[in-house]
A = this chain, B = another copy of it.
């Protein structure tokens, strides 16, 4: 395990061990000095609540040192790509990452989708530029298309909840209405981890908010490999029936890149796509999951978040356990 851009580049065996290790951390929280003398530098180009705090704490619980940078808040802005630097950015990402990767044993970087250049986002052009400039492993803390730390936490949460018996259980990735066209990193990663775990996956979304075909193809291949199934539907209510997991998430989808006005109009038309208590009753005693932050009474009814079916806080807690496992793997500690 070198860089962690996304799990598709990591073997199933490593992935499975990491899921199990995360569950172990959940069941046996601990502080140690196992990673004493190791250091993690994190760069957040976008806001964070859980990722930053849980990663700092994961490092501390292993005895490692962590530090966080927020470009533009107490640091210089960074330039990517080529071209004469006579604009606002005072430093190139190649130098910034070149330096930071000499200071720290591992880097973590959050850098959301541009929302304007689909091909660049799909190709992870900026994150790849960062990885290229680094002489140490880089952990993706949510990039344009992937959120591997969230995906491992999701998988381990499900693994714990179903005592490892999640195979062939129905996992619904449910598109939700939202006032903004959010990026696709979380739904992409949630989908890919679910098929990888062998769950029977249903993506419920309006036609206008289909995920990128590139991701759907990757999910289909993964499903074939793991013996799971992948379906797509526009019928949210139908999708709920028999579901074991409802994973709600808003996203703008590829349409926002080329037809932003149409995307907004369509999104507004689907305000009814909210996870309500009534819908949860259609599931097979299913649990509600969400990566957070979540908008109450827009994406999901408050009632659902406060019900016994809500797993979102345990899921958020698993961010800590999953990231301890990731740091251990990168630092050769298990």
Interface residues, chain A, with chain B CB atoms under 8 Å away: 31, 36-37, 39, 41, 44, 47-50, 52-54, 56-57, 60, 65, 67-70, 73-76, 79, 82-86, 90-92, 94-96, 98-100, 102-104, 179, 292-298, 302, 305, 312-313, 316-317, 320
Contacts and interface: CB of A to CB of B under 8 A. Distances in A.
Contact of A49 (B44, B76, B296): B76
B49 A99 contact: yes
Nearest to A59: B65
Number of copies: 3
A94 B306 CA distance: 10
A94 B297 CA distance: 14
Given A84-B297, A90-B293, A94-B305, 18 more contacts: A31-B37, A39-B57, A47-B76, A48-B74, A48-B75, A49-B69, A49-B91, A52-B74, A54-B103, A57-B67, A70-B73, A85-B297, A95-B305, A95-B313, A98-B313, A102-B316, A102-B320, A103-B320
Query: Secondary structure of the A side of the interface?
Result: mixed
Given A31-B37, A49-B75, A103-B320, A293 B91 contact: yes
Given A41-B53, A49-B91, A91-B49, A85 B295 contact: yes
A74 B179 CA distance: 21
B74 A292 contact: no
Contact of A53 (B67, B82, B297, B313): B67
Shortest beta-carbon contacts, A-B, top 9:
A91-B293, A85-B295, A31-B37, A84-B297, A102-B317, A99-B316, A60-B65, A90-B293, A70-B74
Given A75-B48, A313-B99, A316-B99, A294 B53 contact: no
A298 B85 contact: yes
Contacts of A69: 49, 53
A75 B91 contact: no
Given A44-B74, A313-B98, A316-B102, A298 B84 contact: yes
B96 A49 contact: yes
Given A60-B39, A305-B95, A74 B53 contact: no
30 contacts: A41-B53, A44-B74, A47-B74, A47-B76, A49-B69, A49-B75, A49-B76, A49-B96, A49-B99, A52-B75, A53-B103, A54-B103, A57-B67, A73-B74, A76-B293, A79-B296, A84-B296, A85-B297, A86-B295, A86-B298, A92-B293, A92-B296, A95-B292, A95-B294, A95-B313, A98-B313, A99-B292, A99-B317, A102-B316, A103-B320
A73 to B, nearest CB: 6
A103 B70 contact: no
A92 B313 CA distance: 13
Contacts of A57: 39, 65, 67, 103-104
A84 B96 CA distance: 41
A53 B100 contact: yes
Contacts of A37: 31
A295 to B, nearest CB: 4
Contacts of A36: 31
